[in-house]
Amino acid sequence: MEQSFVKAIVALSAAFVMGFGSIGAAIGQGLIGMKGCENIGKYAENKADIRLAMLLALVLVETCAIYCLIIAIILILKTF
């Protein structure tokens, strides 16, 4: 009984980690894309620099979601 309760708590914890990590990354990526498109529209002559900065920022934001995935996988593999 106690072991199944611990497994349920770990599964819920992994779900919360992925849920909150994905929500934060998705909002961040949306804001970065929005501002990047706005700036390309305003400053079309600098579109290559804006695109590069936008892509680097997207990569950094995506690492948060990847870290959350790794934490969730570790939680599940160590328990089950």
Give the total number of structural domains in the chain: 1
The answer to whether residue 64 is domain-embedded is yes
Token pair listed for 17: 């980690």
Token pair listed for 3: 């072991």
Q: Is this structure's pTM higher than 0.85? A: no
CATH number of 9's domain = 1.20.20.10
% of the chain with per-residue pLDDT over 70: 99
Instruction: Encode pLDDT of 14-52 as tens digits.
Output: 999 999 989 999 999 999 999 999 999 999 999 999 999
The answer to whether residue 77 is domain-embedded is no
Q: Give CA separation, 78 vs 10, 15, 39, 71, in Å.
A: 10, 15, 46, 11
Question: Which residue range forms the structural domain that includes residue 49?
Answer: 2-71
How far from chain centre, in Å, is Cα 11? Answer: 19
How far from chain centre, in Å, is Cα 4? Answer: 30
Q: Give CA separation, 7 vs 16, 19, 32, 75, in Å.
A: 14, 18, 37, 10
